[in-house]
Structure 1
Amino acid sequence: MAQSAPLPSRPPLKSIATSLRRERGRAGLSLSQVAEQAGISKSTLSQLETGNGNPSLETLWALCVALNVPFSQLLDPPRPQTQVIRSGEGAAVPAAQAEYRATLLASSPPGARRDIYRVDAEPGTVHASDPHMPGVVEHVLLAEGKARVGTALEPVELHPGDYIAYPADLPHIFEALAPRTRAVLISEHN
């Protein structure tokens, strides 16, 4: 059996601090209100929001319940509008008993709906899309071929295994650059 990598000794405090402030602001709650609902002191929450302290898993779960957010949202730092993850990049978690690993590409925000599509494209024409409804984000994972994908002003060349997320409420494109280009497209509606 392969040895596991050592567990980190401290949680990602910067990401947690940023996420706590963001989610508390979205919920419109004060420090006192969130601390009371989570069953922790106001000073503890204040320290966590400034990136200090060493929160336990239980404390973070209690804060998630108080803020009504999934646990991953506290650990997942805010992303720029366009996000690209190249093949082989990202935080992969291996299985203990099999040659298998999962890489989180994007967590679903609360209240989102996702539609999943397989895209088959050939070179020669650019598929240009007008802006969709406000807040729509598209996620593309290229399976085969090569393509330019993303907002019309800043498309990115993708190769098999590459991932991109971009705001689809702006003009955007999908251009196959190789025969038999295939991708998975997920349209996320908030």
Structure 2
Amino acid sequence: MEDLRTRIARTLRRERETAGMSVSELARRAGISKATVSQLEGGSGNPSVETLWALGDALGVPFAVLVDQRAAPPHLVRASGIPGVPSESAPYVATLLAASPPHARRDIYLIQAEPGRPRDSEPHLRGTTEHVVLISGEALVGPADAPVRLTPGDYLSYPGDEAHVFEAALPGTSAVLVSELR
């Protein structure tokens, strides 16, 4: 589990960069020294609640964003674990994999990939979650530091606001990808 200082450092830098602010500008808006911001982004220092609150206000994010653990770890559903198989008496089975939260924005993509160079993606906007259902082939998908091998019918959700990868392992690999921003 990531320690609090490391989590604050990673999150503070990500939020500052997402806001397009320099260290100096963030320090000015928060009313703290530039050295303090640099130390916190470097994983050193011992910030008070007041300091973190001021940084959150300056960045336009709640205090909890700077200190909370990631709320949604990767979620995997294997095709073999989905109940219900189409038959003559019930030729259609629909299984809800992930309900849309209120006010979410979603983009849906059809992915077609061949083995070779993986598709490495930088983090998207904060709050992005990606959902992948593999249609054909085989692929390594998900967080860059811990991708999951998917086979046809498997579903995986993972944080899209962290570095992630899609790497086809077999020719003719295809998937549906839904990018969701909350």
Distance 2:85 2:151 in 1: 22
Q: Does 1:130 align with 2:100?
A: no
Distance 1:109 1:95 in 2: 32
One-letter amino acid matched to 1:176 = A
1:138 to 1:86, Cα distance in 2 relative to 1, 3 A: same
Residue 182 of structure 1 corresponds to 174
Distance 2:84 2:95 in 1: 4
Q: Does 1:120 align with 2:112?
A: yes
Residue 25 of structure 1 corresponds to none
What is the DSSP-based 3-state SS (H/G/I as helix, E as strand, rest coil) of the residue aligned with 1:154? coil
Aligned alpha-carbon RMSD (Å): 2.1
TM-score (norm 1): 0.55
Instruction: Tell whether the 8 Å contact from 2:72 to 2:159 is kept in structure 1 after alignment.
Output: no
Distance 2:133 2:165 in 1: 14
In the TM superposition, 1:29-108 aligns within 5 A as: 80-90=72-82, 92=84, 98-108=90-100
In structure 2, which of residues 137, 143, 150 is the aligned counterpart of residue 151 of structure 1? 143
One-letter amino acid matched to 1:108 = S
Q: Kindly state the Cα deviation for residue 189 of structure 1 after the two structures are TM-superposed.
A: 1.0
Instruction: Tell whether the 8 Å contact from 1:140 to 1:165 is kept in structure 2 after alignment.
Output: yes
Distance 1:147 1:188 in 2: 21
Instruction: Tell whether the 8 Å contact from 1:142 to 1:182 is kept in structure 2 after alignment.
Output: yes
Per-residue CA shift, 1:145-180, capped at 9, x if unaligned?
Answer: 000000001100000000100000000000000001
Residue 162 of structure 1 corresponds to 154
One-letter amino acid matched to 1:120 = Q
Distance 1:132 1:185 in 2: 14
Q: Which ranges of structure 2 fall in alignment gaps of 5 or more residues? A: 1-70
1:145 to 1:166, Cα distance in 2 relative to 1, 3 A: same
Structure 1 residue runs of 4+, over 4 Å off?
91-97
TM-score (norm 2): 0.57
Q: Kindly state the Cα deviation for residue 100 of structure 1 after the two structures are TM-superposed.
A: 1.4
Q: Kindly state the Cα deviation for residue 98 of structure 1 after the two structures are TM-superposed.
A: 2.8
Per-residue CA shift, 1:71-130, capped at 9, x if unaligned?
Answer: xxxxxxxx8420000013245597995321111110111110111000000001110000
Q: Which ranges of structure 1 fall in alignment gaps of 5 or more residues? A: 1-78
